[in-house]
Structure 1
Amino acid sequence: MAEAVENLVTVPQCKEKGDNMECAVCLQKCIHPAQLPCGHIFCFLCVKGFANQNKRCAMCRQEIPRDFIEQPNLLEPICTEKTEVCDDSFQWFYEGRNGWWKYDERANEEIEQIFQLGIPNFELIICGELYIIDFANNVQHPKRDSTRKRSIKRDKITNTKVVGVAGIRTV
């Protein structure tokens, strides 16, 4: 039985696809891949979503340490350089407790595409929860609780002091 458990936690659930890893939760390319103590790897926001809901790995059900979200084991560094995007391009930000945070690359692209189409609001999955992005009021909120609003903004990276990216502190 111990051998079966050992094999279970060492088999990566992020499938290799060239240079990309696929997350077993969202079934997309891993964004900010984070490895849990059990060895399983998921997108950081996917980990944050299931860690906030049940505190256990989505694959093997092993408990996730309380401090993992604050101190994740990221497999790739977070780029903090302002040169990572063209100075003339816009980025989407949401306001957290300590300042402005960048959305991850995938969410940023989706938000920008919908914004460019002139659609006033749309639904976006963040941390496994459905959120409403409301361009008319520049807010986001969980679909199930419209009282939990956060400000959002579209700005140039050079104009905004950024605390982190997608819940990962970089300063």
Structure 2
Amino acid sequence: MEGFFNPFLRPIPTSIAQDHHSYDSIDDAITPTCRICYQYCLYPIELPCRHKFCFMCIKGQVLAHNLRHCPLCRVVFPMSVINYPVPIVSHEIVFQPNVTNTRRWYYESRSGGWWQYDRITMSKVEEAYNNRQREPCIPLRIAGIMYQIDFNRMIQYRSGYSHIFRRITFGPVTNVKGIAGILFHDQETFEGANRVVPPPQIFRL
């Protein structure tokens, strides 16, 4: 549509264009390129229209902008895409115990248990934690929404809503449900998956 402005489609920076294959490359069959962030998809999902995006990019479009249509063809998709995401690269969503020296970060699920942060957000949280003596509370955009990460209280809350928050922690923890809202595809096999969990842990001051 000539003259239509879509805020989710922007020119591809030269550095990204050089570092990534084009969207139509043969590699898209394995790891598609997201047309929102223009990088290889992180936890890619496929919309009913068959277009593929990073799960966090589509989740951000819905949560931050209340837009529930494909950024490319504008076909509306059901909310189940966000509430019950099914990644097309399942090996990314596999439970792995904390057996390395890499610290993993988690935020509390509304229904009990913990969600692991996505890889990009987790690296930013870890970097901020290492600098917490200088900045104990930092802003961080997650899925298009600005949050505050408070390391003194070990909580996360939406900017401007400090009275509603979730706890955060780093591993190892039990009852890890998945990554950033995506259930582990083999969830029933890992320790703690069927553990009875407490009621939702959303706290109000």
Taking structure 2 as the reference length, what is the TM-score of the superposition? 0.66
Identity %: 32
State the one-letter code of the partner of 1:151: R
Residue in 2 aligned with 1:134?
A: 150
CA distance 1:145–1:27, change in 2 (3 Å)? farther
CA distance 1:133–1:27, change in 2 (3 Å)? farther
Residue 67 of structure 1, CA deviation:
1.5
Structure ranking higher in strand proportion: 1
1:120 aligns to 2:136 (yes or no):
yes
State the one-letter code of the partner of 2:93: C
CA distance in 2, matches of 1:62, 1:144: 33
User: 1:106-136 CA deviation, whole Å, 9 max, x = no partner?
Assistant: 1111110111122312121111111111111
CA distance in 2, matches of 1:148, 1:35: 32
State the one-letter code of the partner of 2:96: K
Residue in 2 aligned with 1:56?
A: 69
2:115 is aligned, of 94, 98, 101, to: 101
Residue 22 of structure 1, CA deviation:
4.3
CA distance 1:144–1:40, change in 2 (3 Å)? farther
Matches within 5 A, 1:19-58: 21-52=32-63, 53-58=66-71
2:20 is aligned, of 13, 17, 38, to: 17
Residue 27 of structure 1, CA deviation:
4.2
Q: Which runs of 5+ in 2 are unaligned?
A: 1-16, 22-26, 188-205
Residue in 2 aligned with 1:90?
A: 103
Q: Which of the pair has more CA radius of gyration?
A: 2
State the one-letter code of the partner of 2:74: R
Residue 38 of structure 1, CA deviation:
1.5
Count of equivalent residues: 155
Equivalent residue of 1:94, what SS? strand
CA distance in 1, matches of 2:147, 2:39: 18
8 Å contact kept, 1:50–1:57:
no
Equivalent residue of 1:82, what SS? coil
CA distance in 2, matches of 1:17, 1:144: 37
Residue in 2 aligned with 1:12?
A: none
User: 1:62-112 CA deviation, whole Å, 9 max, x = no partner?
Assistant: 1111321233342211332325x5344321100012211100111111110
